[in-house]
Structure 1
C-alpha cells in the first residue's frame, strides 16, 4: 500500500538541485579518504546527540579511535555500537526486514533487552512535559506495516531522495522498536540514499538534522 504523501513542484526542484550537488560531492569524496572518515564520525555524533547522548565530537572521535574516554558507559557503548552499525549497514538490503533487525541488533546490543527484535508491547512518544505526542502502531501490526512499507519502497519509481524521506517518516510513525527508532530511521534513510548514490555513505546528513542551517 502506498504511504499517504504528495509530491510537490518544490520537492522536485529540490531533488534536481540536490542531485547536481551530489555529483560534485562524489568527486571530492573519491579523492579525500580523510574527509570520508571525518564525516562518518560526524554522522554518528549527530545521530546520537539527537537522542540526548552528551559526548562531544572530540570524545566520539577518540572512542572510535580506540582511546579511553571519561563518560557514561551507556553513552560510550552507544558510540561503539553506532560505529559498528554504520560500518556494516551499507552492505545490507534496505528492503529486507531481516537486515533491518540485524542493524538494530548492532545499534542496540548491550543496551536493550529487545535488541534485534520488533517490540511486543505498546509504546508512546512523550514531550518534555510528559505529554503523549505519538502512539506507535499496535505491536501485532508492526511486522505487516514494515513489510508493506518495504514492498512499496522496492517497487516505486519515485526519486530516491523522496522515497528515503517517506520511508524514514513511516518508520518513525510505526515505531517498530521499543528503543532506537530515531537512530534506525536515520540509518535506514542513509542506506536507501547510498544505494542510489554511494557518496551518501559518507555525507553526514544527520548533522543537518541536529544543527539545521
Structure 2
C-alpha cells in the first residue's frame, strides 16, 4: 500500500517564508477593506481559480476566450469549477471527509463524466507528455483505506497547518482516487485546508493562476516519488507569499491614484482588471478608435505607476493587475 509518510525539513528558507506569510496575514487583517471591494476581488479570484485550475489540466480557454466561447465541454469544465468555488464560502463548518470529497468531485464533474462523484474502480496510471507511464496509482481497493488514513494524518500532523496542507495536497494526488479530476479536487481541498488554518484571504489569491504560470515546476514536484517534500513545500510557500504580495498591493493602492488617471487610462485599467491577464491584441480590439502607439504609451504609464504588470517580453506578452 502507498506509504503516506512524507517528511519536510524546516530549512532557514522555509522558516523565512513562514514568517513572511504570518506577517502578511497580520497585515491583511489590519487593513480596513470595504465589503464591496472584497466582493469584487472574490468574484474575480473565483473566476481565475476556476479557469486556471482547468488550464492546469489542459483546458485551452483564456480569460479572453472564456467570455465569448460558445457552450462546450471546456466552458462547462470552468463553469462547474466556478460554481464550486462560489459555493464553498457559503458552507459553514466544512467537515473534510470521504463523502465531502466525493461531493466536490460530483459538483466539479457533473455533465462531464458519468462517474462524477464516484471513486475509480479500475487501475490507472499517470502519463507524461510522451505517453509514458510515470506513476502507477494505488489499486481501487486501497482508495478508501488510504483516504481514511490521509484524513487522520491531516488532523494529527506534527507540522504547522500551512505545511500540513501542502503535504496533504501532494499525498492526495498520489492516492489519485478518481479516474479524472484529481488535480482540480486536490486544489479545492488545499483551499479549504488553508482557510481552516486561518488564512481567510486564501479565496482572494487565485493561487491556481500562479500554479499554471509555473506548471512545469508544479508537475515536477508532484511526479517525484521522493519521500522528502522540502523542496515542494518551499515552492508552494513561495507561490503563496507572491500571491499575498499581489493582493496586498491591490488593496492598498490608493484610489486617488486611480481617480487621477486620465479617463482613457482608467477605462484601460478597468478592462485589464476584468480580463487579467490579457494580450495587447485583445486591448487593441477593445479600443479600436485609439491608435496602437497611444495604447502602448498608456500601458507603459500604467506599468510605471505599478498598477499593472507585463508578463513576458515578446509580442505574445500579457498584461495583468
Normalising to structure 2: TM-score of the pair? 0.60
The gaps in structure 2 that reach 5 residues or longer are: 215-238, 240-321
Matched, 1:128 2:129: yes
Counterpart of 2:134 in 1: which secondary structure?
Answer: strand
Q: How does 1:60-75 map to 2 (within 5 A)?
A: 60=66, 62=67, 69-71=68-70, 73-75=72-74
Q: How does 1:1-213 map to 2 (within 5 A)?
A: 3-9=5-11, 10-26=13-29, 30-31=33-34, 32=37, 33-60=39-66, 62=67, 69-71=68-70, 73-90=72-89, 91=91, 93=94, 95-196=96-197, 197-212=199-214
After superposition, the Cα gap between the structure-2 partners of 1:80 and 1:26, relative to the gap in structure 1 and judged at 3 Å, is farther
Query: Quick one: distance in 2 between partners of 1:44 and 1:142?
Result: 26
Query: Quick one: distance in 1 between partners of 2:94 and 2:74?
Result: 28
Report the Cα offset of residue 56 of structure 1.
1.2
Q: Which moved more, 1:37-46 or 1:171-180?
A: 37-46
Query: Quick one: distance in 2 between partners of 1:26 and 1:136?
Result: 41
Query: Quick one: distance in 1 between partners of 2:29 and 2:179?
Result: 36
- Kindly tell me the number of residue pairs found equivalent between the two proteins: 206
Rg bigger for which structure?
Answer: 2
The gaps in structure 1 that reach 5 residues or longer are: 63-68
Tell whether the 8 Å contact from 1:101 to 1:116 is kept in structure 2 after alignment.
yes
After superposition, the Cα gap between the structure-2 partners of 1:28 and 1:120, relative to the gap in structure 1 and judged at 3 Å, is farther
The root-mean-square deviation of aligned C-alpha atoms, in Å, is 2.1
Normalising to structure 1: TM-score of the pair? 0.88
